[in-house]
Amino acid sequence: MRRTKIVATLGPATHNPEILHGLISVGADVLRLNFSHGTPEDHVRLIGMARKAAERVGREVGLLGDIPGPKLRLGDIHGDVMHLRNGQALTLTTNSTGGRRDSIPVAWRGLPDAVQRNDVIYLADGSIRLRVQDTGESEVLTKVETGGSVASHQGMNLPGVEALPSAVGDADLDWVNFACDHGVDLLAVSFVRHASDLDPVHTRLTERSADIPVIAKIEKREAAEAAEEIMEASSGIMVARGDLGIEVPIESVPQIQKRLLALAGRYSKPAITATQMLASMVRSTRPTRAEATDVANAVYDGTDALMLSEETAIGRYPIEAVRMMARIAEEAEKHLPYEDLRHTRTRHAEHDVADTVSYAAVAAAYQLNLAALVVPTRSGRTPRLVSAHRPRVPVLALSERLATVRRVNLLFGVRSAHHQEPPTLDELLAGFRPAPAPAGRPLVAINMVTSVDGRAQLEGTAEGLGSRADRRLMRLYRAAFDAVGSGAGTLRATGVWLRVGDDLAAPRVAEGRPPNPTGVVPSVSRGALAGAAHGCPSPHSSRRSSAASPS
């Protein structure tokens, strides 16, 4: 089973139902909608095609909406393409050029006030370098230091310039509204510099009563320096190496990537590594050896997901690119030090019940030789915490919310399925006890599912710890071992149920459904669990009866 997730960017090369079906079939877990290109109507059609393709394949995928932010772009160039020679004078103007060959229009009127003499301006993803000579009311006079071809609407980078537009403008908030209206599962915010840049997005989501996770793209020097505060304010990060490699010295990008991925691990939040991972596959059926090594190193560094950009957006071989990335990632995962990562990867937050239980559940998976962890969840928080500890066994996240089923596809090692669960802890515990527990007693339900001669049995009991006001005391190990030892002889434990607070953290696997004639314990079919254990697609939401049903 491949654990590292793949994000595939949609574009002209994938605006086709069969190509979308192929992307998902060979391993795309999340599809990226680049809001920098296309109209809202274009993206509505793309969302519809993506959902239908996922339904045909039989598994849910997440949709990641990438908000453009203040991307500085060139305007319309006469003839659409211009070749710049080393040493030539070039004027960047906020007005029309009238077809002049020594002038290029820019879309941002604030450019002349933002730069000064000797500042550097990069065009075309950093391949062209200009040196500012002088500025005027509407023009910036530059000298071409590194020439090349530049096209209309390509990007412009101003490393070190502080006076830039805000990260989130009115047009970006319109895209947030679009995401809320059309079921986009995750949002990425471009050109974040500080944690406060995310506030307008969070505010708009709150106004819309939406809980879409917000991914901060780290592609500015300021963001790399303020990464910890941005991590705290976001749901995860994307290491966007394209613009980042222009904003900072390119030789520092590998170390920044390692630091950011380690930081995401400490905060138990997902990280996406992006840009030019298999760039040669835009035109070739195979990547270079260096690209294969780059993908593997991102896995070794702790990324949750790998992103394909132009490879799937405009490339000739989008399906082959996803298939190749899946192969490289799966091979790299065989060499991860899972046991060490469990102890060293995350910080252990004090008084955080869900984090404590998630850590203990992953430990139980090792010590009890569990086959998989099954994590019913409403918000997706508990599978995120379990994933952060990097269990070697598969994790199956079950949720009654389709949005959660789709979102957790970004998490390392997590597969998801749609099911219904008891809405309260008391209902869950009622399935384990013939009578209500004493007032203030069980808040954490822990039961073992064991296998005897191929038959699944439910053993153990609900372990009540603490009171309703204090949910901090966790004694998972004692309860788990008590459950294993409660039957005749020593049985091989294959899973653990546990619930904490408002999220159901339920590591559990079974080889069938445990008999429970009187209770309403959530259960999972043999097929769903086999799919988790062997890396098969989880059941599609429309087949709810085969994904989960009450016992």
**Token pair listed for 245:** 């490699």
- From residue 215, give the alpha-carbon distance in Å to each of 130, 202, 399: 32, 11, 21
Q: DSSP label at 437?
A: P
Q: Catalytic annotation on 73?
A: yes
How many helical (H) and strand (E) elements, i.e. helices and strands, does the chain have? Answer: 20, 24
Burial code (b: 16+ CB inside 10 Å, e: under 16) for 72-85 equals bbbbebeeeebebe
Give the integer Cα–Cα distance in Å for 49 and 182.
13
Residues 6+ apart with CB under 8 A from 257: 239, 241, 273, 298, 301
Give the integer Cα–Cα distance in Å for 293 and 508.
35
Give the integer Cα–Cα distance in Å for 445 and 253.
46
Residue 156, classed as helix, strand or coil, is: strand
Instruction: Give the closest residue to 443 by CA, choosing from 385, 505, 391.
Output: 505
Give the integer Cα–Cα distance in Å for 307 and 198.
22
Instruction: Give the closest residue to 111 by CA, choosing from 134, 151, 144, 139.
Output: 139
Give the integer Cα–Cα distance in Å for 357 and 476.
7
Catalytic residue among 135, 275, 346, 461: 275
Catalytic residue among 51, 73, 401, 543: 73
Phi first, then psi: give them for residue 61, nearest 5 degrees: -125, 155
Q: Catalytic annotation on 275?
A: yes
- End-to-end Cα spacing for the chain: 28
Q: Catalytic annotation on 384?
A: no
On whether the CB atoms of residues 233 and 198 are closer than 8 A, the answer is: yes
Instruction: Give the closest residue to 224 by CA, choosing from 207, 240, 211, 200.
Output: 240
Q: Strand ranges (DSSP E) for 383-475?
A: 395-399, 414-418, 447-452, 455-459
Q: Catalytic annotation on 91?
A: no
On whether the CB atoms of residues 522 and 399 are closer than 8 A, the answer is: no
Give the integer Cα–Cα distance in Å for 126 and 308.
19
Check residue 517 and give left, alpha or beta (phi > 0: left; psi -120 to 50: alpha).
alpha
Catalytic residue among 59, 193, 204, 217: 217
Give the integer Cα–Cα distance in Å for 517 and 511.
18
Residues serving a catalytic function are: 32, 73, 217, 275
